[in-house]
Amino acid sequence: MILGEWLGRLTEISAPIIDLLALVMILVGTLEAFVNGIRVMLSHPEGHYAIRSVWMRHARWLIAGLTFQLAADIIETAVAPSWDDVGRLAAIALIRTFLNYFLERDAREARELQHEGETREIETTT
């Protein structure tokens, strides 16, 4: 078997497996966010920090899933049969990269806001 054929077969196997792993991560994170979101909304009606924590954790799951999907896209482009396929995969990778960037930025901003709120709470209690 030639190296190119071996690489093609390995790509055909590995990219869908990585996509499946990404799907599982996104599903688990979404289910967890749903359950914890309902729990927090029912038990902490004014719990802005508690619900923000749920969304922050969900964002981390989404970022991880998008990163895995991007990895699968990169593997697929290694042996893409045509320029149309390369262009399509490049567009998908670009979209996922931008989604990942904005999710990470929002997560960072939410962490900073939460840290500021915790600092204010500590200052008012002392």
Q: What is the mean pLDDT of residues 61-89?
A: 82
Give the integer Cα–Cα distance in Å for 67 and 63.
6
Give the integer Cα–Cα distance in Å for 27 and 119.
34
Give the integer Cα–Cα distance in Å for 61 and 46.
25
Q: What is the mean pLDDT of residues 38-47?
A: 83
Among candidates 83, 86, 64, which has minimal Cα distance to 74? Answer: 86
Query: What is the pTM for the complete model shown?
Result: 0.72
Each residue's pLDDT tens digit, 17-42: 999 999 999 999 999 999 999 999 88
Domain around 49: 3-125
Q: Are the C-beta atoms of residues 97 and 71 closer than 8 Å to each other?
A: no
Give the integer Cα–Cα distance in Å for 19 and 98.
18
User: Which pLDDT does position 28 carry in this prediction?
Assistant: 97
Q: Of 74 and 118, which is predicted with more confidence?
A: 74
Hey, is 79 helix, strand or coil?
A: coil
Q: Of 122 and 7, which is predicted with more confidence?
A: 7
Q: What is the mean pLDDT of residues 115-126?
A: 68
Q: What is the count of structural domains for the chain?
A: 1
Hey, is 85 helix, strand or coil?
A: helix
